[in-house]
Structure 1
Amino acid sequence: MSQEQEQGPKPIRRLEESLINRIAAGEIIHRPASALKELIENCLDAGSTSIRITVKDGGMKLLQIQDNGCGIRKTDLPILAERFTTSKLSTFDDLSRIQTYGFRGEALASMSHVAHLSVITKTKSEPVAWKASYIDGVLVDPRTRQSSEPRACAGNDGTTITIEDLFYNTPTRLQAFRNISEEYSRILDVITKYAIHNPKVSFSCKKATSSSPDIATPGSMSVQQAIRLLYGHSLATQLIETNISSDKPENPDNEDSNDDEAMDVDLPSSTNWSAELHFSNANYQAKKTTFLLFINHRLVESSRMKRSFEAVYHGVLPKGAFPFVYLSLDIDPRCVDVNVHPTKREVHFLKEEEITERISDITQQKLALQGQSRTFEYQTLLTANTAGPSITRKRSRKDTEENDVEDEMDEIPGPSAPQEKRPTYSYHKVRTSLKDRTLDSMFPVSSPAQIDLNENEKGKGKASTQGTPTATKSRLIEESSCLLTSVTKLRQNVVKNKHRQLTEILQKHIFVGIVDTHKCLSLIQHSTDMYLVNHSSLAEELFYQLGLRQFGDMSRLKLQPAPSLKDLLEISVGAEESTKESNLTKPQIVEASQMIITRRDMLAEYFSLNISESGFVQSIPLLLRDFIPNLDYLPMFLMRLGPQVNWQSEAECFDTFLRELAYFYSLGATFSQTPQSEPSEGQEPQDKAERWQIQHVLFPAMRHYILAPKSLLERDVVQVASLHDLRSLECHYHGPPPA
């Protein structure tokens, strides 16, 4: 028997008041951002139209908030920081009708127990302001730590609350906050959300060591303008706005209503509600879901609503992309229970599931009306000062997040200021518009759909070149769901072997033109650099990754009429030079290659290569819409599957098959005509069709899907010019450019 059992149970004691208050404070004040949230809500309850926030060391050393609200009476200051002192409630019934942010009177009390709290406040009726300092909820003199009365001081109408040395007396909690930049980001996030919901209130936030604010709103905006200012122009242009409300009152004669009447609870006879909703369309995509939810103007969280919105966007956005949603929901206060969380982060309300479903349905309908096709913006750069309306430069998502506050102030009406005209040197000019001319645009180029040869033109080798070719808009290729470990590892290897800089070059390149049709060389531009690339090698890597991306869910290219596999193999064996040196006879090679028929089920399920039992090739995989492989190489592809694919190991089988498939597809990016031979009849339009396919289908697909491995740098991608380096060399000999 243990010593504790011999002594009996320990007695139950009442905790000390200071320990009780410190435990309660830890539940309310989790971090500086949660303290600021409580303070902002107090400012808004006071009717403030201007809120100024100053932060030092992420709010750990200093967190100060100043407002121009109604202020606090001098007579109320002695009990201001005591627990459960509030001007919002008188009876418990008031809790069911509460429409203010705060009501329990715990925020300032909690702060006084874990930080040094001081208040300067002035009402409009009083001639001076009053300053008070608090420790553990008691009004004290900050120097002597003894009880004291408020002191008169100078001040403006409103209240300034200062919190210093947060968690100074809870070292364990203090040690958990080491990244002050992260804490400051959380503070900015809280301010941003309240600034969007309260666009008529001016918000400002800056670091104590900085003279300029990181967030500044004018306080005379709409919600749409606030989103534009704080989240950026790129999001604001992709927003859909709608207002939703309940269709009809609920039936007051149902069983729930009878039960409520029996308990004498004052509940409304109907659950009427209204909602203001701003949400992004299919063109906008972020790395994570941004969900701003306000219920009766209270910032809260709802995992059910968030999952509901994510489900709506699941079929609209590509994998890994997420939406922006701002929802302001107004419900009868008697239907909402606000007292279910210490920090008021969550609320419960009646008919939550029905309201969520209704809002999700309306959102889905609005997205459907907008269409689910996505459009892509491109950057434009002015290289000269020309007369006419100014053009706003499109910015990247990263630039938007960091510099929105300064750049987007141009969207807010205000006095115009003259802008300094700076010269743009030639080596800083970057062609980034997809509408700029390429090499091929200087010659008549036709899309495959525009090639229309009649019997007379076939003999002359001419093609119809009427009209202007347009780039094909391919559907987004999503990664298929596959539980095979071998496929998962192959996909991980592609990501692991990605060369970051080369991938960025290919994703952001500008196509210049095809240089050598026989060596498969093309020119692309990235920033001020020019690169010579082997588009056939790039295409082979692209098609391998596309095949791996669509593993088990590939589209089919039907062959009508279906050719015989044996006939195709005989054609390939007869034309392939390497088979002449083999020890096997040609019929034996054909017989050996026909072994793929025994694996027809696996080929059909994973690769959409359908071969009938009688040996006819019914369909082949289609890896990229609008890119049709050169079927002249189909016999060779089928023949190579026998000896080149490792059929014994699962991972190697999938890998080698996809490599052969990619090689077959990449041959469509080459030209059958040799340099020494003369163009044959019909060769010119065929070359033009292949050129169009490379420029308008192949290279755009590289921008979206390829993760370039380092091996491509060895011989397939070569930098041939750098405008900046050439200009720097010129400056070295001739001096800097004129100012």
Structure 2
Amino acid sequence: MAVRFRSESPALVDPLPIRRLQESVINRIAAGEIIHRPVSALKELIENSLDAGSTAIRITIKDGGLKLLQIQDNGCGIRKDDLPILAERFTTSKLSTFSDLSHLTTYGFRGEALASISYVSNLTVITKTKGDSCAWKACYQDGSLISTKAGTSAEPKACAGNDGTTITAENLFYNTPTRLSALRSSSEEYARILDVVTKYAVHNPKVSFTCKKWVRQAASPTPDISTPSSSTTQQTIRLLYGQTIAKDILHVGISSSDNASSHDEGEDDDSESWSAESYFTNANFQAKKMVFLLFINHRLVESSRIKKAIEAVYNGILPKGASPFVYLSLLIDPRSVDVNVHPTKKEVHFLNEDAIIERISDVIQETLIGQSQSRTLLTGGVAELTKDREKIKGKAKAVELDTEQDVASGSVEGSPSLSQAVKKKTLSKNKVRTSLQDRTLDSMFPILAPSQQPGAAVPQSNTADYSPSTQPTVKFREIKESQCYLTSVRNLRQAVRKGKHHHLSEILEKHTFVGIVDLDRCLSLIQHSTKLYLVNHGALSEELFYQLGLRQFGNYSRLRLDPPPPLRTLVTIAVDAEDGIDKSRLSKPEIIDCIVDTVMARRNMLQEYFSMSVSAEGLVESIPLLLGDYTPNLDKLPLFLMRLGPQVNWTSEMECFDTFLRELAFFYVPEPLTPAISQELRSEDMGEERAMKWQVQHVLFPAISRYLVPPKTLLDRDVVQVADLPDLYRVFERC
């Protein structure tokens, strides 16, 4: 290749002409500044969906987003009249004058995201507003509408669709091969996408996020990210980052008003007000790499200054090489923030940056130090305990030395097995400290069995000597699975088996019951191996009774009601107590008639399949008995009968069985109607509370251990690890 040099003589240098770049070249250059990789496009689209007020966002990815990147939301949608200019540069509904930047509260504002994506991919938009009778589909290339078929108009086409918007970008960077070749593997691009979706899901716990890979098969793949709507930040962190982080999380709220007393009244400016919320791990959590989520005015950004300041706080607390998890959301008056300083908006500048960072760092440091001090105080005499431990270690070493000498000299019988025991000695922190003689919480407060008469005297035994051997035992009648040839029931049983979570099954099958923490809130403690778990026995029992209902379908025992109460009377009691009935288009008598007629019309089916007997006169003679030695709270019977009307889908066989059994399981859950009612009853009669506690410990938890096939959903919020013996030993060692 020939190299062309400029002439060294100035007289021979001709200036090159200045030309206007072609519009397509300008747009492609601009697109390259905003859309660096698939995750850049997805971030812009997620922000558009959030700006549209979406509560559910579904993302589908193929080949790391290069072949397909689709995002579907249920937001307000896009008007059909706006579709022709949707993908043109600098078209936006959020900005009209430059001064609007000073009070901007939305994610997007320049109108470049969709335009940039259309210049480097094949862009398709399907959208529907609530006022539209149908959805509209439009295809774009280089910012303009295009037709999908030759000879057809490029105008948006009517199509089927839900409220909201679905945006699909295919063949990303197909016309920029250099950018395409610079990207790494599709798995790495997908990992970047999951990271961004995870961060937005943590910051928006009220929005449901789903992210999955596209597959050719008809069956939908399991999402890699799936969060519920109407959750909390801490619950979302537990779901996405794991229980290890969630159990060591701390939370603080900070604002400019906290130190306003240091200023004179009248000097504070509203434009300088700010507030922050942060979730961060304590000194127990140690990771190899720092996880840092930073949102400023709800925008995912990066700030090396804030990150270094927080790292400096942890340098004096964590060991060298260990890093924390930190989520920080900072809200600043829009007049103090300049958001238009980076093409992808990943950086922002704001006033009083040094003072705000210093204040946030100080509060985080004070919280970490306070938590460490309180942990030290709770140990109660850590110094003395450390000295005792050192003495024990010294004695143990002496014993080991004597043993080794005896084995070497042959003076100890069975020396090979003894030497093996010395070598394989279990560390104290790994010992499982449970046995049949261990005391439970309730052993300190003796509980009456239901068979004992209410008001009977408690055995006058010393509670210090009270052991599980004095507790009444329950022998379960084996609950066998009934033979059923209905396809719907067999499918429901198969779904239960398929959803089994093996680790949770092991915990529940081999647990040791510790005690009931709160009867009204259905909270209990169990132990498995070296870990202690706080469980919602209400949620566990609801799933258990649903599965027991499926297991015994068509072959239930009966719980007879004597005398049988009238169905209409029970439904009337429940309807009168229900809130919100007045807002219904039906009157209370009409609602009662509708529910009673529904149940009476299907009483033969209820008798055949569920052993629920309702006489022709409308008397409830019996209900199904799901578990022997367990009696449900009959105060909930009116509510159960009332819910059979609106909550059971009587039009579909499979859904009918599923929803009826769900309602039956809800009726069997060992909980009071309301905590307030429970408090009133408790002050009057302690017998019912004792009987319920006895059933929970001696009937319910053994049945859970034996019959429950737990799904993964119970791990999200109903089974929470609260302590681990090796972690407690590490705490004592640091103290």
Work out the CA distance in 2 between the residues paired with 1:249 and 1:434: 43
Q: 1:105 matched to which residue of 2?
A: 111
Q: CA deviation at 1:70?
A: 0.4
Letter in 2 for 1:235: I
1:212 equivalenced with 2:212 (yes/no): no
Q: 2:592 matched to which residue of 1?
A: none
Structure 1 consecutive aligned stretches of length 4 or more whose deviation exceeds 6 Å? 249-254, 372-381, 392-396, 408-415, 419-423, 433-436
Work out the CA distance in 1 between the residues paired with 2:167 and 2:530: 38
Work out the CA distance in 1 between the residues paired with 2:280 and 2:309: 13
1:352–1:414 Cα change, 3 Å: farther
Q: Deviations over 1:586-621 (max 9, x none)?
A: xxxxxxxxxxxxxxxxxxxxxxxxxxxxxxxxxxxx
- 2:272 match: secondary structure: coil
Q: 2:473 matched to which residue of 1?
A: none
1:306 equivalenced with 2:307 (yes/no): yes
Larger Cα Rg: Structure 1 or Structure 2?
1
Work out the CA distance in 1 between the residues paired with 2:287 and 2:20: 51
1:187 equivalenced with 2:199 (yes/no): no
1:167–1:253 Cα change, 3 Å: farther
Work out the CA distance in 2 between the residues paired with 1:41 and 1:318: 38
Q: 1:234 matched to which residue of 2?
A: 244
Q: CA deviation at 1:305?
A: 0.4
Q: 2:358 matched to which residue of 1?
A: 357
Q: 1:8 matched to which residue of 2?
A: 14
Instruction: Determine if contact 1:45/1:101 at 8 Å carries over to the other structure.
Output: yes
Equivalent residue runs for 1:506-655 within 5 Å: none
1:251–1:474 Cα change, 3 Å: closer
Instruction: Determine if contact 1:250/1:271 at 8 Å carries over to the other structure.
Output: no
Instruction: Determine if contact 2:337/2:349 at 8 Å carries over to the other structure.
Output: yes
1:334–1:382 Cα change, 3 Å: closer
Q: CA deviation at 1:337?
A: 0.5
1:168–1:117 Cα change, 3 Å: same
1:50–1:385 Cα change, 3 Å: same
Q: 2:281 matched to which residue of 1?
A: 280
- 2:169 match: secondary structure: strand
Q: TM-score, normalised by structure 2?
A: 0.52
Letter in 2 for 1:134: Y
1:416 equivalenced with 2:543 (yes/no): yes
1:342 equivalenced with 2:352 (yes/no): no
- 2:354 match: secondary structure: helix
Q: 1:244 matched to which residue of 2?
A: 254
Work out the CA distance in 2 between the residues paired with 1:106 and 1:471: 52
1:145–1:268 Cα change, 3 Å: farther
Instruction: Determine if contact 2:430/2:725 at 8 Å carries over to the other structure.
Output: no
Instruction: Determine if contact 2:287/2:322 at 8 Å carries over to the other structure.
Output: yes
Instruction: Determine if contact 2:338/2:348 at 8 Å carries over to the other structure.
Output: yes
- 1:78 match: secondary structure: helix
1:38–1:121 Cα change, 3 Å: same
1:270–1:342 Cα change, 3 Å: closer
Instruction: Determine if contact 2:115/2:142 at 8 Å carries over to the other structure.
Output: yes
Q: 1:326 matched to which residue of 2?
A: 327
- 1:248 match: secondary structure: helix
Letter in 2 for 1:248: A
Q: 2:75 matched to which residue of 1?
A: 69
Q: Deviations over 1:618-658 (max 9, x none)?
A: xxxxxxxxxxxxxxxxxxxxxxxxxxxxxxxxxxxxxxxxx
Q: CA deviation at 1:99?
A: 0.2
Q: CA deviation at 1:393?
A: 6.9
Work out the CA distance in 2 between the residues paired with 1:145 and 1:348: 50
Work out the CA distance in 1 between the residues paired with 2:131 and 2:17: 54
Work out the CA distance in 2 between the residues paired with 1:13 and 1:114: 24
Work out the CA distance in 1 between the residues paired with 2:151 and 2:170: 15
Work out the CA distance in 2 between the residues paired with 1:74 and 1:414: 51
1:38 equivalenced with 2:44 (yes/no): yes
- 1:132 match: secondary structure: strand
Letter in 1 for 2:229: G
Q: CA deviation at 1:142?
A: 2.6
Letter in 2 for 1:295: I
Q: 2:701 matched to which residue of 1?
A: none
Work out the CA distance in 2 between the residues paired with 1:98 and 1:131: 30
Instruction: Determine if contact 2:510/2:705 at 8 Å carries over to the other structure.
Output: no
1:130–1:92 Cα change, 3 Å: same
Q: CA deviation at 1:269?
A: 5.2
Instruction: Determine if contact 2:512/2:528 at 8 Å carries over to the other structure.
Output: no
Q: 1:158 matched to which residue of 2?
A: 164
1:202 equivalenced with 2:214 (yes/no): no
Letter in 1 for 2:242: G
Q: 1:714 matched to which residue of 2?
A: none
- 2:199 match: secondary structure: helix
Letter in 1 for 2:6: S
Q: Deviations over 1:534-579 (max 9, x none)?
A: xxxxxxxxxxxxxxxxxxxxxxxxxxxxxxxxxxxxxxxxxxxxxx
Instruction: Determine if contact 1:167/1:174 at 8 Å carries over to the other structure.
Output: yes
Letter in 2 for 1:370: Q
Q: CA deviation at 1:31?
A: 0.8
Work out the CA distance in 1 between the residues paired with 2:536 and 2:165: 28
Work out the CA distance in 2 between the residues paired with 1:351 and 1:191: 30
Work out the CA distance in 1 between the residues paired with 2:344 and 2:429: 42
Instruction: Determine if contact 2:284/2:731 at 8 Å carries over to the other structure.
Output: no
Q: 2:120 matched to which residue of 1?
A: 114
Letter in 2 for 1:283: N
Letter in 2 for 1:353: D
Q: 2:625 matched to which residue of 1?
A: none
- 1:279 match: secondary structure: strand
Letter in 2 for 1:93: S
Task: Among all aligned residue pairs of Structure 1 and Structure 2, give the percentage whose two residues are the same amino acid.
Answer: 61
Letter in 1 for 2:183: F
1:69–1:434 Cα change, 3 Å: closer
Q: 2:711 matched to which residue of 1?
A: none
Work out the CA distance in 1 between the residues paired with 2:225 and 2:246: 17
Work out the CA distance in 2 between the residues paired with 1:287 and 1:31: 27
Q: Deviations over 1:674-716 (max 9, x none)?
A: xxxxxxxxxxxxxxxxxxxxxxxxxxxxxxxxxxxxxxxxxxx
1:221 equivalenced with 2:227 (yes/no): no
Work out the CA distance in 2 between the residues paired with 1:152 and 1:329: 42
Q: 2:66 matched to which residue of 1?
A: 60
Q: Deviations over 1:206-264 (max 9, x none)?
A: 1011521111111111111111111111111101111101122997999xx9xxxxxxx
1:86–1:414 Cα change, 3 Å: farther
Letter in 1 for 2:287: A
Work out the CA distance in 2 between the residues paired with 1:472 and 1:148: 67
1:412–1:196 Cα change, 3 Å: farther
Instruction: Determine if contact 2:530/2:725 at 8 Å carries over to the other structure.
Output: no
RMSD of equivalent CA atoms: 3.7
Work out the CA distance in 1 between the residues paired with 2:529 and 2:48: 39
Q: CA deviation at 1:289?
A: 1.1
Work out the CA distance in 1 between the residues paired with 2:25 and 2:262: 48
Q: Deviations over 1:262-284 (max 9, x none)?
A: xxxxx955511111111110000
Instruction: Determine if contact 1:138/1:147 at 8 Å carries over to the other structure.
Output: no
Letter in 1 for 2:318: L
